[in-house]
A and B are shown apart, each in its own frame.
Chain A
Amino acid sequence: MSKILIVDDEPHIRMLLEQTLEELEDEGVEIFTAENGEEALSAIQEEHPNLVFLDVMMPKMNGFDVCHAVKRELRLPEIFIIMLTAKGQEFDRVRGEEVGADIYMTKPFDPDEILDKAYEILNIPH
């Protein structure tokens, strides 16, 4: 069974992403949320999700650090990490590459695009 983790410090983004991905629950996908980097890291270790939507700008531990910890320290390259970055803020591609992020998407996100991507990554026929 596939698992998706949504990490964002803004409650409305978490809610919107959760709602966007909700129909995947009918396919047996489990969706979790985390409010900050630290919480995200322990959730990843505990639940081992297949896909993580990871906000870049977060208090305590930012998205790059979380990604680095997962991909480089915990050595979990199979966890697909989508970095979420605010539109207008230039995404630091070099840093993203360094920490091993798979792709990045911009907020405000296009719900259909997010959903299509999730189907694709989890390999669920859509």
Chain B
Amino acid sequence: MALISFKKFVTKGYFAQLLNSLSGSLQCVPEITDVDGVVLWGQPTEGEPLPITTGEQFWGHVRAPAPHGRIFADLTAHYLQRELDRRILAAEALEKYREITFLYAFSGKIASCLGIREVCQLVIAEAHKLIPSTSAMVMLYQEADHRLEMIASISPSTTPPLSLSPTQGIEGHVFTSGRAEIVNHVSADPRHDSSYPTDYALICAPLKTQDRVMGIIRIGTSEQIHYTAAELKLFTALTAQASAAIENALLHEHKIREERIKSNLERYLSPQVAQTVISATGEISLTTSKRRLTMLFSDIRNFSSHCEELDAEDMVTYLNEYFTHMVSVIFSHRGTVNKFVGDMIVAMFGAPATLPNHEQRAIAAAIDMQRCLAKIPVPWIQQHFLTGIGISTGEVVVGNIGSPQHMDYTAIGDEVNVAARLQGLAKGGQILVSRSVYDAARSNYTFRPYGDIVVKGRKNPVEIYEVIYT
């Protein structure tokens, strides 16, 4: 398509006006014809036909008596050139404007996408619209298997989802170098992996955040065209926005996953501990290990006889009320609820997050449990529930223990048995602790000796102390 219609240029607008006034003042009406000799302006007249040219292009002839013919020919060529220049600039400006509006609209569209696949699909669809291409795809790096996996694609043939090592092919190279590239003869590029369909030319750009490369995006064409630096620049602008959106989508997915884990963890752990486990810094681990911690057992005295007095439904209601209060006390002292066995609560202090002064914290929790129980605003509970608590401290094995179908984060070891035994001995309202707990907390709490017990598998009897509290 010619940038200018010569006919329109001569007959309309400012040049036509100029011709009019000039022929008036020179008293000479020239004849202007197009390349086919069709008269566009003026009337048949004397004189030699003079060609009108701009650069290489021939537009037509001017005929007018000398010396005016030359003036009209030069003037026409000059204004034609001006008009051409203006049109070229306008076309370029419009192209840029188109790109800006495109990116503007793109950022609006992409901001409303949350899912990773959705974002990737939109990005390649838009890139495909903007830059001539026959294929497009997004690959993201998967840490788990250390590979680049295809997440979304537009492709003429149904190719299997691609998976590359992060150093394989042009895509791998762009991922590793973090620099966008144009490759105009793909099959001639030594990095090209011939195991998947070849495009004639491609543009590949890294999807980057400030501190890492998340993957790559590439578009390609099977037609014999060459991509230009301007297209690369545009593609890079698109990629920058896509990167931000993909990063957001990744964060969003991560957050959802975290929430799910957290809500599972929060059944056993205080919200703070759950958070620490998720952010997984250093010494917190759910894997099995041997560590020193404090176990707390609490049990309602004569529970089974109370059970007989009540409907099962009422009993469950009271029990749930009781557990809710007790768990919140344990959490507030940063303990972990290990399990409920019937009416018994098993809690630990010092796992999965290490906890300084776990012995004192367990005692503080026990005292608060006793106080809290007396204040639960359900008269029946206040009248009938009395708990005995046993606490012991020492080395135990802690971790996820069980079968693949059912696992518990739990502790096993001698000290666990000791705490269970102490709890069994404790009368309603009493808190009994082992010697190990007493040693660690003697300066913080008041104790009185409560005799010894013999525990199976131990040579020496375990010394017992009662915590005195008001």
A interface residue numbers (CB < 8 A to B) = 12, 15-16, 18-20, 23, 25-26, 30, 108-112
A108-B100 in contact (CB<8A): yes
A residues in contact with B378, CB < 8 Å: none
B1-A108 in contact (CB<8A): no
A12-B101 in contact (CB<8A): no
B90-A15 in contact (CB<8A): yes
Question: CB within 8 Å of A: which of B101-141?
Answer: 101, 104-105
Assuming the contacts A23-B1, A25-B5, asked whether A111 and B94 have C-beta atoms less than 8 A apart, the reply is: yes
Give the CA-CA distance A15 to B90 in the complex, in Å: 6
Query: Closest B-chain residue to A107, C-beta based?
Result: B101
B residues in contact with A20, CB < 8 Å: 94
B interface residue numbers (CB < 8 A to A) = 1, 5, 8, 12, 87, 90-91, 93-94, 97-98, 100-101, 104-105
B residues in contact with A25, CB < 8 Å: 5, 8
Distance of B280 from chain A, by nearest CB (Å)? 45
B91-A109 in contact (CB<8A): no
B93-A111 in contact (CB<8A): no
Query: Closest A-chain residue to B92, C-beta based?
Result: A19
B residues in contact with A30, CB < 8 Å: 12
A109-B101 in contact (CB<8A): yes
Number of A-B residue pairs with CB-CB distance less than 8 Å in the complex they form:
31
Distance of A22 from chain B, by nearest CB (Å)? 8
A residues in contact with B105, CB < 8 Å: 110
Distance of B83 from chain A, by nearest CB (Å)? 12
Distance of A23 from chain B, by nearest CB (Å)? 7
A16-B97 in contact (CB<8A): yes
B93-A16 in contact (CB<8A): yes
* Chain A to chain B contacts (Cβ below 8 Å), 7 pairs: A15-B90, A16-B94, A19-B87, A19-B91, A109-B101, A110-B101, A112-B98
B8, B12, B87, B101: the one contacting A111 at CB < 8 Å is B101
A residues in contact with B104, CB < 8 Å: 108
Give the CA-CA distance A92 to B27 in the complex, in Å: 54
Give the CA-CA distance A23 to B5 in the complex, in Å: 11
Give the CA-CA distance A18 to B87 in the complex, in Å: 10
A108-B90 in contact (CB<8A): no
B97-A108 in contact (CB<8A): yes
B93-A19 in contact (CB<8A): yes
A residues in contact with B5, CB < 8 Å: 25
B residues in contact with A112, CB < 8 Å: 98
B1-A111 in contact (CB<8A): no
Give the CA-CA distance A110 to B8 in the complex, in Å: 27
Give the CA-CA distance A15 to B104 in the complex, in Å: 20
Assuming the contacts A26-B1, A108-B104, asked whether A19 and B90 have C-beta atoms less than 8 A apart, the reply is: yes
A residues in contact with B98, CB < 8 Å: 111-112
Distance of A20 from chain B, by nearest CB (Å)? 6
Query: Closest B-chain residue to A110, C-beta based?
Result: B101
